[in-house]
Amino acid sequence: MAKFFGANDYMGGNSLTRSPQQTSMVERGILIKLNTARSPMKCVINRRAQFSASHRYWLPELSEAENNLRFGACARSPGHGHNYVLFVAMEGDLDDYGMVLNLSDVKRVIKDEVTSHLDFSFLNEAWPEFEQTLPTTENVARMIWQRLEGHLPIVNIQLFEHPELWADYQGNDMEAYLTIKTHFSAAHRLASPKLSFEENSEIYGKCARPNGHGHNYHLEVTIKGQIDERTGMIADLVEVQNVIDQSVVEPFDHTFLNKDIPYFAEVVPTAENIAVHIRDLLSEPMRATSAELHKVKLIESPNNSAEVYALSSTQAAAEQAERALAQV
């Protein structure tokens, strides 16, 4: 573990050294107290960086046909590239200067340890690990974590391969998250069939107007899984994309949600209710892939969005029973 922050060092779960301020606290005998209670000055900061790199998904032990079948266009020789965007999240206490870390130090470390190696590189050959495991988004995020964890108090590595696909990695062995962003356009009307027009207008305002209105909905689906040691993947992305397309995008796109989606005949299609329904539609088919659903975020407009987390199978069964009971 390298030490480099000196006076701007942090105190936390993976603290490396003590700042002069903390040392004086030890002298005053209060460090133990600070370590047991979460400091009110704890703060997470983010630093963005970017690099452009190429990669190829190809396993030599597979035939050309098998590689093509498994990785599609990503198997093509000699490879293809992305403009990667990296967000490094770090947590720590504020120092005497009001900072968690000095950002010019952070910038230098990210450059020395990550971007100077990866920018304008062929990822498969950039780091020795990628001889054994493919440089997928989730796997590159994991390797970046490994390069930075000895230097920075990182709590999350988020790596965008492009604006509609990104990975999150939090240092939990082979566990990683992958988010796919997609969209559909649909109309809706916010009004309960059990209430009068006046009552609905009172609650939902303009959204209760009788003939509805529409949105270009953006949907972010996050899955969680274990990175495969050889393919570097938590799931077959094509399979996951198909589940999202078939369960949500195809049935929802260009519909009037209240009339075309049976669930919304009774349930008012607010962004929150749509997100819950999408989660319920995705949970089961996602289990057929090697990953599991983690979170659904529905962005209705730049001004509002709703997020719901996946339920465990016990929670899902309890919720279903509750709904069945409510209908009796």
The residues assigned a catalytic role are 207, 254, 300
Q: What is the DSSP letter of 246?
A: I
| Separation of alpha carbons 52 and 71, rounded Å | 21
Rg from Cα positions in the chain = 24
**Which tokens belong to 33?**
């107290």
**Closest listed residue to residue 162, CA positions, set 185, 144, 180, 187:** 180
Residue 256 to residue 234: CA distance in whole angstroms:
35
| Cβ count near 258 (within 10 Å) | 21
CB-based contact 108:182 (threshold 8 Å): no
Tokens of 291: 């990953």
Helices (H), 72-136: 103-110, 116-118, 123-126
- Using alpha carbons, select from 1, 130, 132 the residue that is nearest to residue 54: 130
For the chain, strand residue ranges (E) read: 42-55, 80-93, 121-122, 154-162, 165-169, 175-188, 213-226, 255-256, 292-301, 304-309
Given a contact cutoff of 8 angstroms between Cβ atoms, the answer to whether 239 and 246 are in contact is no
User: What pairing do the DSSP bridges indicate for beta strands 42-55 and 80-93?
Assistant: antiparallel
